[in-house]
Structure 1
Amino acid sequence: MDGAGKRLPPEFIQAYSEVMEDERAPVADSFAMAVMLYRKKSPAFRKMKTKGQTARIKYLDKWLEMPLKAGQPAANAPLSVFDSRRIIKFITSHRDRVWGHSPSAADEAVLALSAFLTWCKKDGRLDWNRAHGIEPLYERPTEARIWSLEEQAKFLETASAHLAWAFKLALHTGLRREDLTRLPLSAITKQHLIIPTGKSRGRNTALIPITPPLRSLLDEIDAARAKLATAPLTILFSSKGKPWTAEGFGTSFDRHRSRMGLGPENDGPTIHDMRKTCATNMVILQHLYPALISDQVLTDLFGWTPGTLAKMKRIYVSDAAVIEAMTTSI
């Protein structure tokens, strides 16, 4: 309605919407226009699950901000700039600047760009995929390692309370990043944490015993939650009093471990190594809390065979000094 209370004619509204859409539309034949078309037309992108599409779009949006000559963003540049070999140095520089704190995220970003450029090539828009063949930064270990007590202490030395809680909860539960950050308060029972796992898409449930050290950690977090104006429904929350996102927690985790000299450049342990560390801790703590941590709990939680469990016990539980050090540290 206009100022006099009259309804505007439909043809005026349509014409206005078209003008505004034209103003917002990307420049023809530009990188941004190609990204928009990729989202609409790429069969591979359209087949991705919503979570995957969201992650892919976030990476591509960051690539649109990539500065080219004179610092101009790549968004409005002709898509054809990606046919030039010179674009490679801009790609790697932008990758290192935006995702340098996390080699795995940097590699995912390049994979997202490469998938887009592959579609452009197949669609006849480009002759080359210049992102193909860029060396990955993250070297995946052949076997998970364990966070040593010294490394744990070093990480926690200057970690914020909210990051330290997440770190300790990961050590106690072995949950993957996505399950850890969305762990709801409703998961807490008298003796266990119960949560459907994201990797199984909710079909499987993780049953995690609440040992006295874990109960103490949950009580500490709960005391801080009680001071918030609006308490989140997740066990963990950031310094802003909001639930962590998996990506936000991962970024904060990687930045802090690098600051503490535990990053990939120093061959430090990763967030993925927390699960094996937890498994080791559980085997050791079973010696103290056999009623809570049964053999069945361990085999179900970590997918072990009885033979694997027996091997873990032979390695870790035979050393009384290890047990004493473990129980005093957590």
Structure 2
Amino acid sequence: MLATLLKWANLCGHDIAINVAADIPQLYRGGNRQEIIWLPDDIDRFLETAKSEGKPWIGDGLRLAATTGFRLADLVTLTFDHVGEDAINKVALKKSRGKRRRAIIPITAQLGELLDELRGRHRADGVNNVLVNSYGRPWTESGFGGSFNAIRDLAGIVHVDEDGEEKSKHLHDVRGTFCTMLLTECELTDEQAAEIMAWSPDRVRGIRKVYVDESQARMALARRVSAKQDAQ
């Protein structure tokens, strides 16, 4: 952002001899987060913390993200005009592979119940956004993002990697939660889930391996142990 600002100032004729922020190497090391998702316990703790802090409307955004897979920009700009009888139809604000894609999100029973609930939220005159703040006004990206992160930190929502290092879970990581729902509850193939998520099938397969296949294997093992104990 600083590099862009200095470039703009230079183009506008301001006295900037050199853009000192240009061509800085990428320093962020947490870019590969595809194995991180929000688990049911994370969601429950977040919602409980938001409620105890007197800010339940922040939990609305988490629940909507978990049932749509939308990014922050699309969550705060989603209106009921985008909601059809069977699906949410919205052009994503973020470009994917150089162009904006149209997201067609199936309205599951869980999403349908949530949308019905959110229709009952207090709204200022003329506001048709699905998510609104305590004043009944639409959220801004920074406003919701900052409020979301504050509740997340109070709730202690973190991911612990194989080295024992803790990383705060991001709102964006909820997209992985939505992906697991497509694979389990909707029983979609990797390719079908990838089409909805605008991800590669390989990335979906990674989510399936970590959070679906391994979970099912553990459940099967537990049933075998239980059955053997009952037989004794």
* Shared fold, TM over 0.5: yes
Confirm whether residue 273 of structure 1 aligns to residue 173 of structure 2: yes
Distance of aligned partners of 1:261 and 1:189 in 2 relative to their CA distance in 1, 3 Å threshold: same
- Aligned Cα root-mean-square deviation (Å): 3.8
Richer in helix (by share): 1
The one-letter amino acid paired with 2:183 is: V
Confirm whether residue 190 of structure 1 aligns to residue 85 of structure 2: yes
Q: Secondary structure at the match of 1:243?
A: coil
- CA displacement at 1:141 relative to structure 2: 3.3
Give TM-score, length-normalised by structure 2: 0.70
Confirm whether residue 221 of structure 1 aligns to residue 118 of structure 2: yes
The one-letter amino acid paired with 2:177 is: T
The aligned residue for residue 225 of structure 2 is none
Q: How far does the alpha carbon of each residue in 1:108-160 deviate from its partner, in whole angstroms, 9 at most, with x for none?
A: 5x55666578x49xx79467877789999965332331122222222211212
Confirm whether residue 146 of structure 1 aligns to residue 32 of structure 2: no
CA distance in 1 between counterparts of 2:197 and 2:61 reads 20
- Equivalent residues in 2 for 1:1-330 (5 A)? 108=1, 119=10, 125=15, 139-144=29-34, 145-159=36-50, 160-200=55-95, 203-225=100-122, 228=123, 230=125, 232-262=127-157, 267-287=167-187, 297-304=192-199, 309=204, 312-313=207-208, 315-318=210-213, 319-320=215-216
The one-letter amino acid paired with 2:77 is: R
CA distance in 1 between counterparts of 2:130 and 2:113 reads 13
CA distance in 2 between counterparts of 1:222 and 1:257 reads 25
Distance of aligned partners of 1:233 and 1:148 in 2 relative to their CA distance in 1, 3 Å threshold: same
CA contact (8 A) 1:254 1:263 kept: no
Q: How far does the alpha carbon of each residue in 1:76-129 deviate from its partner, in whole angstroms, 9 at most, with x for none?
A: xxxxxxxxxxxxxxxxxxxxxxxxxxxxxxxx5x55666578x49xx7946787
- CA displacement at 1:282 relative to structure 2: 1.8
Give TM-score, length-normalised by structure 1: 0.51
CA distance in 2 between counterparts of 1:181 and 1:322 reads 38
The one-letter amino acid paired with 1:285 is: E
Q: How far does the alpha carbon of each residue in 1:238-287 deviate from its partner, in whole angstroms, 9 at most, with x for none?
A: 11101111121111112222232337995211122122222122212214
**Greater Rg over alpha carbons, structure:** 1
CA distance in 1 between counterparts of 2:216 and 2:21 reads 53
The one-letter amino acid paired with 1:198 is: L
The one-letter amino acid paired with 1:146 is: I
**Number of aligned positions between the proteins:** 206
CA distance in 2 between counterparts of 1:259 and 1:111 reads 33
Q: How far does the alpha carbon of each residue in 1:201-239 deviate from its partner, in whole angstroms, 9 at most, with x for none?
A: 9842101011111111111111224xx452511111111
Unaligned runs of 5+ in 1: 1-107, 288-292, 324-330
CA contact (8 A) 1:231 1:241 kept: no
